[in-house]
Structure 1
Amino acid sequence: MSATTPDLPGGTWTLGDTTVTRFGYGAMQLAGPWVMGPPKDHDAALAVLREAVDLGITHIDTAEAYGPRVVNELIREALHPYPEDLLIATKVGGRRDAEGGWPTARQPDELRQQIADNLETLGVDVLDLVHLRLGNAQGPVPEPIGAAFETLVDLQQQGVIRHLGVSNATGEQVAQAQRIAPIVSVQNMYNLAVRHDDALIDRLAAEGVAYVPFFPLGGFSPVQSDTLTAVATRLGSTPISVALAWLLRRSPNILLIAGTSSVAHLRENIAGAGLELSAADLDELHKIAG
């Protein structure tokens, strides 16, 4: 497989030693309902992954907890052996329980097992990028991260992880991680309506660190706003397109990982993220978060 559309919206960003497209793909939605079990349509899931790469996307986000195992195994089936320019980012620090919950799992032995599981299911000897997932399902929790992050640094020094990042983190936890070892990305919830990380994004941009918003469209509760709808209507577009385009305009270090299980929706997201927003549009959208 080779990229056929090199000019994706937003251009590129350098993650560590790898240049990736700012428009990436989040694979979480390829699992079954509530991110548990296999997809309804196995072949369609493989088709989305292959289409993403064929369209030029070089950044795919996943986690061993998606399924669990299911999404990583789909990525391996669809894309292995992986293109040289493809970066696959994964997450550790949590697991799934029988009820579909997301309990934390950040003890050193738990993290080492999760890294081993990711290596196995993705079919690689080295993981491109590993985010340490912090907090819990309700959001970030202000607590020390030293032992957990140092475990990943040790694994990086052993050669099974190339780059490190943190996810679901407070600004202080980002700083804690940076005092221990370099990070290349922060993955937090952020969108037009959830703007608590504005200052962090600006700091990271100045430092050359990527910011990867999860739930860029609001997640299980989509972003809804009369202002967003009005701007989209005026532009002859959709709220989803406007929200994605705004994120790419917000800061050059923002990398999108909007997810979908549909090839058609993937193409729509790419087209939508390339929407041109005027200064007046941006000013109007900026007010959504109050």
Structure 2
Amino acid sequence: MTATSTPSSELTATGVPRAGGAGTIGGRTVSRIGYGAMQLERLHRDRHAAIALLRRAVELGVDHVDTAQFYGDGFVNSLIRDAFRPEDGVVVVSKIGADPNPGGTVPLRPAQRPEELRASVEDNLRTLGLGQIPVVNLRRLDDEVRLRAEGDQVVDLDDQLAVMTALRDEGKIGAIGLSGVTLDGLRQALPAGIACVQNLYSLVSRGDEEMLRLCADQQIAWVPFLPLGGAFPGRPKVTDNPAVTAAARSLGCTPAQVGLAWLLRHTPNTLLIPGTADIGHLEQNIAAGMIELDDATSGALDALGSRPM
């Protein structure tokens, strides 16, 4: 019997198989299942537990982490700085376009002006302890309901891309991403060189299918947030859908794992950043990368996209 070895591209810098297999973002090879760090704010009183969760993610093959300075006003970034070592090879992706708004009805305020974008990158560099952030997503507020850009916060995308490009040229960011962008906005931004798009998308919320196809054609990473739906009133939850729960029973896994596994299968340029503050839940999310959906199950789930949600 001939022994087989895992290709180096499928392994993290620590020699662990990449969670969900290998994908790319900003010219870097990363795990297709990453970690979205927003929920670490919930562990504000237990820094040890938060760092232990991040270390467990590395052990499980995660080397792609999504964060923002406005997650806990730098608290989450400081956890990432302390938890990861250079030899872990973790690619950190951050986002800008909003600032903390302590005590406000909405805990964030828009920060869309070019000088605010630059200041946000500098804040991220400081709290992450990095000389360069590999990818920075510009969070647009065009379609936001709770956090809308008004007055001098309504800024032309080209003006924002100009400062993002300058920051890339200066070496402070490695690549430019977009979050909450419209299809027309993405088309407008393509000449600037876009590494990833981070929009709301899930098995049961597929309004951006045309944008996803454009990203696949342009080799742009597609990084859905709220990959299991829900979170806001009126948003459908993947885990509540009868077809999803039926698939989970058949496969012997959780409905959440079905939703994540479907996203990985749907397009090869998809990277996932499910978030949690619980190690057991983290392990379940990463295990979704091992679930194989047969053709019949995939067909039933695919068909949900043609039904009213």
Q: How much has 1:163 moved relative to structure 2?
A: 0.6
48, 53, 57: which one aligns with 2:58: 53
Letter paired with 2:53: V
Distance in 2, matches of 1:105 and 1:89, equals: 18
Q: Aligned partners of 2:219 and 2:65: how far apart in 1?
A: 20
Residue of structure 2 in register with 1:259 after alignment: 275
Matched residue SS, 1:131? strand
2:37 and 2:224 map into 1 onto residues whose CA distance is: 14
Structure 1 residue 16: deviation in Å?
Answer: 2.8
> 2:253 is matched with which residue?
237
Alignment partner of 1:111 out of 117, 132, 139? 117
Can you give the 5+ residue segments of structure 1 that lack an aligned partner in the other structure? 33-37
d(CA) in 1 for partners of 2:18 and 2:179?
28
Asked if structure 1 preserves the Cα contact closer than 8 Å seen for 2:58 and 2:88, the reply is: no
Q: Which residue of 2 aligns with 1:16?
A: 26
The AA in structure 2 aligned to 1:173 is G
Q: Which amino acid in 1 is paired with 2:49?
A: A
Distance 1:75 1:7, change over 3 A: closer
For 2:275 and 2:65, how far apart are their aligned partners in 1? 10
Q: Is 1:155 matched up with 2:159?
A: no
Query: Alpha-carbon deviation of 1:287?
Result: 2.7
Query: How far off is 1:43 after superposition?
Result: 1.2
Cα distance, 1:215–1:184 mapped onto 2, change above 3 Å: same
* Counterpart-to-counterpart distance in 1, 2:121 and 2:157: 17
Match of 2:188 among 176, 196, 220: 176
Residue 62 of structure 1 deviates from its aligned partner by: 0.4
Shift of 1:72: 0.3
Aligned to 2:78: 73
For the residues of structure 2 that align with 1:112 and 1:160, how far apart are their CA atoms? 10
Count of residue pairs brought into register by the alignment: 282
Q: Pick from 138, 141, 146 the counterpart of residue 145 of structure 2.
A: 138
Q: Match for residue 35 of structure 1?
A: none
Q: Which residue of 1 aligns with 2:213?
A: 202
Kept after mapping to 2: 8 A contact 1:242/1:273? no
Give 1:219 shift.
Answer: 4.7
Matched, 1:285 2:290: no
Q: Corresponding residue for 2:91?
A: 87
For the residues of structure 2 that align with 1:53 and 1:75, how far apart are their CA atoms?
12
- CA 1:219–1:43: 2 relative to 1, 3 Å: farther
What secondary structure, in the 3-state scheme, does the structure 2 residue paired with 1:63 have? coil
Alpha-carbon offset, residue 137 of structure 1: 4.1
Q: Which TM-score applies when normalising by structure 2?
A: 0.85
